[in-house]
Amino acid sequence: MSTGTTPVASGQQTARLYRMKTDEHLCPFGLKTLDLLKRKGYKVEDHTLVSRDAIDRFQQEAGVDTTPQVYIGDERIGGYEAVRAHLGMSVPGDKEVTYRPVIAIFTTALLIGMAISWMVGLGLVTLRTLEFAIASAMVLLGLQKLQDVESFSTMFLNYDLLAQRHVRYGYVYPYAETLAGILMLAGTLVWIAAPLALFIGSVGAISVIKAVYIDKRQLKCACVGGNSRVPLGFVSLTENLIMVLMGLWMPMKALLL
């Protein structure tokens, strides 16, 4: 078998890794597997398959269809996901719920709000900082949905009451949320932005309350797009209530000023 091999020292648990590394393609999962094993304290015998012939020969001899492949002792573990499972780690693509996307978006939105507030000379933390942050969050959340409007609309139909009556609303929603956020960020055309935020926020809040707190359904929230693993519940309700508050606050502020 024609492979390039990186020798390892003795005295530690050793894993044998076979991964693709040709002039045309460097397998990213092979690199991730190599990095993972090293981080977990393994000495890795890194066998790089440097040609199509070497790859085909390895797969035929090992009785496998894909690379990378990892062996620990006499046991074949498998590829990247199998190695993660073997090491007791979560596997990418698992269907467990997570709040990570929402946390990332709202944290980024807050930092954007602080940056804008600082840039225009208002200070780091002010009422305007909160406005900028909420508007930025609306834009970021809208952008997540706009990446795949079809998938978003499908998940949205599971719980949104208006979309269930008028399916096209699920296609309009991402654009409306993004537009309202941009206008609020610019502080202009409040007569468009405020009603949009108030409307979609109110419908969303009522829909979440009915689905989660009345019907007791366990659903995924489409707030970060159609492939979301964020559970529908308190976070989703908070997002909608914040839009309602912004929809009420923006015209009130314009009148007061």
The residue range of the domain holding 45 is 3-86
Looking at the structure, tell me whether residues 55 and 164 fall in a common domain: no
Looking at the structure, tell me whether residues 65 and 14 fall in a common domain: yes
Domain endpoint, select from 31, 59, 86: 86
Looking at the structure, tell me whether residues 148 and 187 fall in a common domain: yes
Q: Render 175-235 in DSSP notation, one character per residue.
A: HHHHHHHHHHHHT--HHHHHHHHHHHHHHHHHHHIIIIIIS----B-GGG-TT--PBSSHH
Looking at the structure, tell me whether residues 82 and 105 fall in a common domain: no
Looking at the structure, tell me whether residues 39 and 16 fall in a common domain: yes
pLDDT in tens, the chain (257 residues): 444 444 444 456 899 999 999 888 889 999 999 999 999 999 999 999 999 999 999 999 999 999 999 999 889 999 999 999 898 887 665 556 777 888 899 999 999 999 999 998 888 888 889 999 999 999 999 999 999 999 999 989 989 999 999 999 999 999 999 999 999 998 889 889 999 999 999 999 999 999 999 999 888 888 877 677 787 888 888 889 989 998 998 888 877 76
Looking at the structure, tell me whether residues 221 and 121 fall in a common domain: yes
Domain count of the chain? 2
Please write the tens of the pLDDT for every residue from 17-32. 999 998 888 899 999 9
Looking at the structure, tell me whether residues 114 and 202 fall in a common domain: yes
Domain endpoint, select from 86, 111, 139: 86
Looking at the structure, tell me whether residues 116 and 216 fall in a common domain: yes
pTM, rounded to two decimals: 0.73
Please write the tens of the pLDDT for every residue from 190-216. 889 999 999 999 999 999 999 999 999
Is 36 inside a domain boundary? Answer: yes
Structure tokens at 162: 């208006």
Looking at the structure, tell me whether residues 76 and 121 fall in a common domain: no
Contact 161, 210 (CB under 8 A): yes
